Amino acid sequence: MCGIIGFAGKEMQVAPILLDGLERMEYRGYDSAGIAVRSGERRLQVKKAKGRLQVLLDLTHGGADLEGTLGIGHTRWATHGEPNDANAHPHISENGSIALVHNGIIENYLDIKEHLVKLGVHFTSDTDSEVVAQLLEYHYNECRNMLEAVGRVLRRIEGSYAFGIICSDYPNALIAARKDSPLILGRGENGNFIASDVTAIIKHTRDVIYMDDGEIAVVTAESVDVFDDELIPVHKKHHKVDWDVSAAEKGGYAHFMFKEILEQPEAIQKTVSPRIRNGRVVLDDIKLTAEYAGEISHIYMVACGSAYHAGVVGKYVWERLLRRPVEVVLASEFRYSQPLVDEHTLVITISQSGETLDTMAALREAKRLGGRTLAICNVVGSSIAREADDVLYTWAGPEIAVATSKGYSTQLAALDLVGLYLADLLGTIEPAEYNAILAELQALPEKMRRYLADYESTQYFASRYFNHSSVFFIGRNLDYAMGLEGSLKLKEISYIHSEAYASGELKHGTISLIEPGTLVVALGTYGPLFDKAMSNVVEVKARGAEVLAVTTEAFREKMEKTADAVISVPETHPVLQPSLGIVPLQLFAYYVALQRGCDIDKPRNLAKSVTVE
Ligand code: F6R
């Protein structure tokens, strides 16, 4: 949600580097974009424009119009003020000496703005971020030391932020600061970086430093220095990113989402294989003891969006394996619901990005109440990963498309692993069941590849049904949980209204919406309840619905007798079936969106990594 970048270069022109970085981070926001470059003679040159990055690229001739080796850039997902040129970042202080980019929300900006207006400051935008640029100029005029001025500003503002700042008096340095919004520092051969995300700078360096809340960094072409909120130097650890630029590029595919759907078998393999040794799940990364596991009385799974949907699958699986109550709660609700957490409560937070603000806040609330936290997370060094008591990484690699696919499926795999691990510790699973699930978990990538080798029918059905204006996904138990994600995929990238219902609930109200021609996606992959799923198909057919069914190869024939169209996936252990069943739903959504001419990787109004509340 908003991407920021900054570069202090030795000799290289900064503008093309900033623009390239912004292009790689455009999934974080794409309402407007802008860059500021310090050119010779203490001048700050700013170019910004409403719309996609391409507008800015055209405006600056790919950056050729701005000369200089020090600069900052921003791609915006609007919170305060409509997406227009004036509200685009960077924001410039009134005398033109300071430029600032910001990701986050300044909660007390109106009070500060009022104060500055009384002092005669003129504002040119509606944003909370411009207030910080103006406040910075005010404090800089007082102390004439940029680091000190930033320190003073940070003490006055409330909210979340990652800032990149340049000042006309400082020809070689940019300043960065963070609290509750992601920010990394990168050390490259030709200069040093700040960025919201590794993807923006991976082309130039894999040597990164993760900034912590309250820290301020001064970055020049030769040095990277970090200070705490008292401006005392802090020694920071360097990390080597273990993937390279090709992982964050489309590699010949039309869309990142398509590429990422196809990458799922490998992502699951990477997540699962290293954690299975001699027929057992071994989680070296987790410090949970058998003694603690025995004392767990309650488990929460807390997350947002698709990660929440992974939690809904997790709940069905874990309750079966652990015989403990598992509650799945939306992170945005959890934090304000006075959750019943104590030292016997295990709180699982699930987040691909590791930066989702609500999930982060829920994690902190759980810790504050004395619960034990375990994060399932894809981004190494992200805030959630660093703050949880334990973290289990999903090794999906960078996910660029706004709509998650491999992020979600590796979350399912991680939940299966931890579920088996805990069930084993607790002795709540029969050895035969444990072995059967484990064997099938290892076989998942191969079975997924089998479906992915022949998915033309899914593409065909998408072209048959893409004109429907409303779709219902129905299923029971794990099929219902999977349907929640299938429905979200369709609505977010194709803009078709869709809802997921537990099939048994239909006749309690929603069935009144079924009329001749209504498209129902009926999910019948969960073996134990297949016959009941069939009855629901018959029910909606009787009301004239057009039924596209997703089932397993074993049930295909039966399903074909009633449904209008059938997609089948290989069979696996029932608790793992959503990992296979979700793939055709992702591809169906993808091809429907393609037919409708939607911007698949960057759906309207959305952004990846939601770092505001
Ligand atoms: C939907 C999607 C979102 C995310 C949600 C949580 O395709 O990607 O619903 O799942 O914003 O994001 P993370 O997992 O990064 O916390």
What atom of ligand 1 comes closest to residue 356's alpha carbon?
Answer: 16
- CB 306 less than 6 A from any atom of ligand 1: yes
In the predicted model, what is the mean pLDDT of residues 314-329? 96
Q: Say what percent of the chain tops pLDDT 90.
A: 90
Structure tokens belonging to residue 406: 């491999």
- Taking the C-alpha atoms of residue 114 and residue 497, their distance in angstroms, rounded to an integer, is 42
Instruction: Assess whether the C-beta atom of 202 lies below 6 angstroms from ligand 1.
Output: no
CA-nearest residue for atom 5, ligand 1, is: 305
Q: Residue 471 above 80 pLDDT?
A: yes
Distance 359 CA to ligand 1 centre (A): 10
Query: Which element (helix H / strand E) includes 209?
Result: strand 207-210
Could you tell me where the DSSP H helices lie in 74-182?
A: 109-118, 128-143, 146-156
Residue from 304, 332, 498, 608 to probe ligand 1 pocket by mutation (most atoms less than 8 Å from CB) = 304
pLDDT value at residue 285: 82
Ligand 1 binding pocket includes 610 (Cβ within 6 Å)? yes
Decide: 311 in ligand 1 pocket, CB within 6 A. no
Q: In ligand 1, which atom is closest to the CA atom of 305?
A: 9
pLDDT for the residue numbered 123: 96
Cβ–ligand 1 contact at 349 (below 6 Å): no
pLDDT (mean) for 424-429: 95
- Ligand 1 pocket check for 356: Cβ under 6 Å: yes
Among 113, 179, 270, 608, the one annotated catalytic: 608
pLDDT at 380: 92
- Segment 552-597, tens digit of pLDDT: 999 999 999 999 999 999 999 999 999 999 999 999 999 999 999 9
Confidence category of residue 44, pLDDT binned at 50, 70, 90: very high
Q: Does the structure show a pLDDT above 80 at 389?
A: yes
Which domains are delineated in the chain? 3-242 (3.60.20.10), 248-450 (3.40.50.10490), 456-595 (3.40.50.10490)
- Say if residue 526's pLDDT is above 80: yes
Q: Compute the distance from residue 408 Cα to the ligand 1 centre, in Å.
A: 8
Instruction: Tell me the mean pLDDT in the region 524-530.
Output: 96
Pairing verdict, β 565-569 and 233-234: unpaired
- Token pair for residue 214? 């309250």
State how far Cα 560 lies from the chain centre. 37
Q: What is the predicted pLDDT for the residue at 30?
A: 86
Average pLDDT, the chain: 95
Instruction: Tell the residue number behind the tokens 């652990």, with chain if given.
Output: 322
Answer yes or no: 598 catalytic: no
Atom of ligand 1 nearest to the CA of 359: 16
The pLDDT tens digits of the residues spanning 87-137 come to: 999 999 999 999 999 999 999 999 999 999 999 999 999 999 999 999 999
pLDDT at 80: 79
> How many angstroms separate the alpha carbon of residue 97 from the centre of ligand 1?
38
Query: Looking at the predicted structure, is the pLDDT value of residue 261 above 90?
Result: yes
- Report residue 43's pLDDT band, with 50, 70 and 90 as the boundaries: confident
| Any ligand 1 atom below 6 A from CB of 359 | yes
Mean pLDDT of 280-295: 91
CA of 301 to the centre of ligand 1 (A): 15
**Pocket flag, ligand 1, residue 304 (CB < 6 Å):** yes
Give me ligand 1 centre to Cα 302, in Å. Answer: 12
Report the pLDDT value the prediction gives residue 52, as an integer from 0 to 100.
Answer: 92
Over residues 283-312, the mean pLDDT reads 94
Nearest CA to ligand 1 atom 3: 305
Ligand 1 atom closest to 411 (CA): 14
Question: Does residue 411's CB lie within 6 angstroms of at least one atom of ligand 1?
Answer: no
- Model confidence band, residue 469 (pLDDT cutoffs 50, 70, 90): very high
Q: What is the pLDDT of residue 77?
A: 86
CA 57 / ligand 1 centre spacing (Å): 29
- Ligand 1 contact via 409 beta carbon (within 6 Å): no
> CA torsion 425→428→431→437, rounded to 10°?
-90
pLDDT tens string 170-228: 999 999 999 999 999 999 999 999 999 999 999 999 999 999 999 999 999 999 999 99
Q: What is the DSSP letter of 453?
A: T
Residue 180 DSSP symbol = B
Cα 233 to averaged position of ligand 1 atoms, centre (Å): 35
Q: SS3 of 298, please?
A: strand
Q: Tens of pLDDT along 8-18?
A: 999 889 999 99
Pocket of ligand 1 contains residue 375 by CB under 6 Å: no
| CA–CA distance, 493 with 497 (Å, rounded to integer) | 11
Residue 7 has pLDDT above 90, yes or no: yes
Amino acid 610: pLDDT = 81
Residue 36 near residue 89 (C-beta atoms within 8 A) = no
Q: pTM value?
A: 0.90
- The residue assigned the tokens 């409403």 is 50
Compute the distance between CA of residue 348 and CA of residue 476 in angstroms, rounded to an integer. Answer: 24
CA of 278 to the centre of ligand 1 (A): 34
- Model pLDDT, residue 575: 97
Cβ of 1 less than 6 Å from ligand 1 = no
Distance between Cα 352 and ligand 1 center (Å): 7
Confidence of residue 607 (pLDDT cuts 50, 70, 90): confident
- pLDDT the model gives residue 613: 76
| 50 counts as catalytic | no
Give the ligand 1 atom nearest the CA of 308: 10
Contact 309, 484 (CB under 8 A): yes
Buried b (16+ CB within 10 A) or exposed e, 247-272: bbbeeeeebbbbbbbbbbbbbbbbbb
DSSP tag of 248: G
For ligand 1, whether the C-beta of 351 sits within 6 Å is yes
**Helices (H) then strands (E): counts for the chain:** 19, 27
52-75 pLDDT tens trace: 999 999 999 999 999 999 999 999
Residue 455 pLDDT:
92
CA atoms of 296 and 171, how far apart (whole Å): 57
Taking every pair of C-alpha atoms in the chain, what is the biggest distance, in angstroms? 79
Give the residue, out of 77, 264, 306, 360, with the most ligand 1 atoms within 8 A of its beta carbon, to mutate for a pocket test.
306
